[in-house]
Structure 1
Amino acid sequence: MIFLDFSKEINLEKIPQKKEWQKNVVKFLKEWVSDSEIICTKTSGSTGLPKNIELTKKSMIQSAILTGEFLKLKAGDTALVCMPTQYIAGKMMLVRAWVWKLKLFCIEPTSNPLEKIDQKFTFSAMTPMQVRNSLGKINLIEKLLIGGGQVSYDLQTILKKYNTEIYESFGMTETISHIALKKISGNKNHYFQLMKGTKIRKNEKGCLCIKPSFLNEEVITHDIINLISDHEFEWLGRLDNVINSGGIKIFPEKVEKQLKSIIDLEFIISKKFDEILGNKVILIIEGNESSVLRNKIENFSFENKYEKPREIIYIKRFKRTPTGKIIRENKYN
């Protein structure tokens, strides 16, 4: 573990750098205190090839201020970094700590970050998988952001019972982490609520266009949304992934969110050519075939009957990005 008290001057040369994750923390902090006004980072690669992006430190600071104001962070609060700091989520945890003068604890990013942790923290951010593996200790964290993937219905049901303030976040590298949050614990929100000063619209394809207050240009995404109001929206899925089956549009992410309540294995919803439907919905599961699981899926009540997979395919392992996200491949035709 690395402890950094950002209310005091930090000697970066004294930070341990024996392990790769420690080197990544120090590397970013050295970039942060350098004379350059730009930080170079990479996208995760979950929606295409990873690409380099230049972000201004000024914009990153403004983003950190908005998050801190929303969560009511203050100097001396404690925070836990358990995500890779070579990507935007981890980098922004470091920036928030620097901006708000937090006492920061950095640990090696793992799928079960709280396994060896017993102390309490004011604030942290995790992926859905990290949260699911840490349920026994989530109450150690007062305020928690979940990002890097959608939060399933069953995980939301579990988390709403916790005293921790838990928010599902929406954002990307291009928008410098999240631009909207959805509370999923206690008195939860049904839709994503925009951060202060952020403006959105829906283009002719139904995709979300974002103009954060700290960016000069609008970010045009491939995310299909329902625009609820000028400050809230419902995320439906990615335009790239939409399946047109017999004239019905199926959003794989929406189907996956339902099925996560009965499937513990890694899986995705995809498509396969069908002479009658054009494309049929298929379910691809990482792991060994199971008749018990097949029966569960067969008897599952989908929100829409057209969402039910017409074929189940089992594979040994999905290809993944460096951050652990499944890379979707349409190679099942």
Structure 2
Amino acid sequence: MIPSYNKVHLKFKLNGVNYNQDDIREIAYSFVKEGLHYEEAIGDFLLDWLDNKSFIKVKSTGTTGKPKLIKIDKQVMVNSSIFTGNFFNLKPGDKALHCLPANFIAGKMMLVRAMILGLELDLTEPTSHPIFNTKTEYDFAAMLPIQLQNSLHDINNFKNIIVGSVKVSNKLIEAIQDKSTRVFETFGMTETATHIALRPLNNFESEQKTTSLGKSIFKTLPDISISQDDRGCLVIESGHLTKQPIVTNDLVKLYSEDEFEWLGRFDNVINSGGVKIFPETIEEKLQEKIKQRFFIASEKDETFGEKIILILEGDIDTVDNSIFDDLDKYEKPKKIYCAHKFDVISDKIQRKKILTKLGII
């Protein structure tokens, strides 16, 4: 039986202390009034969760446009928590670490999972280098790639880690291959109450399907149906998560009714001389060759319609052209721009905002 959103599991603990609903309200008020900045966000969410409304409003990260408020049913968040709990076999009393900002859905969902599943949740400031008790053995945590990178020396403290928000680099994937911790990359969005699919990054099973590049593919959680629209973008359906199908702008290759490979964002596809180019594919080829943050985009071209450009963070707009040797001819940037500082929300580069500031769009 799936629990209701207005119930808190009897075994739920926050920083080692058992709290019921009334207690949670008190600690939430305390966080809002006297807490640190990250605790204020946690307090605000807990008060929203315990009010008499059946929904909450969540701010999207605005990866391809302006951030917007999205209304999500609380019961949908409960259902998502159950799916995750079942996948990772999380049980009441299991320990979890909360190191994500509670302003966005991923951080909110860690709190919901703990309250619904009866987890013992430790809170820590959501910095790029999360600080936690290295003597504690955690059953579950959600991290950004940069947090995982900076926690590699203590990763064996965790049984399971999910990592998302931005794509995990090949270098980081290589670094976790000898770790006992099971690490999964997530696929999801605010509208689906975080992830609807996972792909293992290490500890592979022999029957795990892979892409042509040898990488594992995403597999959906139970009760998730996927298909493609006429653009080749992913369509998500789930009776427990969405009332209507969610049509995404994520271009995918379907391998089965519950397995897919993510190719890139439809918003970002570049058409240069009739050739469709996925910026994300080029970025993956360059990720180990460019030290600072960067992304691939396009600008108008009279001959080809669009031409590839490289946007670098910083004040130096030159690179060694040899880094482009492994790119196909049509993938090589024709021009390089630099932006002094990238606009970033929840570790996601705000491409359109940066391109607008540079006067490219």
TM-score of the pair, normalised by structure 2: 0.85
For 2:313 and 2:281, the matched residues in 1 are separated by: 19
Map of 1:193 onto structure 2: 219
Q: Report sequence identity in percent.
A: 39
The structure-2 alpha-carbon separation of the partners of 1:290 and 1:269, relative to structure 1 and needing over 3 Å to count, comes to closer
Map of 1:143 onto structure 2: 160
Map of 1:314 onto structure 2: 338
* Misfit runs of 4+, over 6 Å: none
Cα deviation for residue 262 of structure 1 reads 2.0
SS of the aligned residue for 1:26 comes to: helix
Map of 2:120 onto structure 1: 103
Cα deviation for residue 179 of structure 1 reads 0.4
Map of 2:109 onto structure 1: 92
Structure 2's unaligned 5+ residue stretches are 1-13, 209-215
- Equivalent of residue 96 in structure 2, options 75, 79, 95: 79
For 1:237 and 1:133, the matched residues in 2 are separated by: 26
SS of the aligned residue for 2:96 comes to: strand
Please say which of residues 270-279 and 202-211 is displaced more in the overlay. 270-279
SS of the aligned residue for 2:222 comes to: coil
Cα deviation for residue 284 of structure 1 reads 0.9
Superimposed CA distance per residue, residues 120-147 of structure 1 (whole angstroms, 9 cap, x where no aligned partner): 3111001112222222222222100011
Cα deviation for residue 172 of structure 1 reads 0.3
Asked if 1:332 corresponds to 2:360, the answer is yes
Contact persistence 2:145–2:168 (CA under 8 A)? yes
Q: What is the aligned residue count? A: 327
The structure-2 alpha-carbon separation of the partners of 1:213 and 1:159, relative to structure 1 and needing over 3 Å to count, comes to farther
Map of 1:11 onto structure 2: 23
Map of 1:208 onto structure 2: 234
Map of 1:20 onto structure 2: 37
User: Residue type matched to 1:271 in 2?
Assistant: S
The structure-2 alpha-carbon separation of the partners of 1:29 and 1:197, relative to structure 1 and needing over 3 Å to count, comes to same
Map of 2:77 onto structure 1: 60
Map of 1:225 onto structure 2: 252
For 1:250 and 1:160, the matched residues in 2 are separated by: 31
The structure-2 alpha-carbon separation of the partners of 1:10 and 1:153, relative to structure 1 and needing over 3 Å to count, comes to farther
SS of the aligned residue for 2:114 comes to: helix
User: Residue type matched to 2:235 in 1?
Assistant: C
Cα deviation for residue 55 of structure 1 reads 1.1
TM-score of the pair, normalised by structure 1: 0.91
- Equivalent of residue 242 in structure 1, options 264, 269, 277: 269
Aligned-residue Cα RMSD (Å) equals 2.1
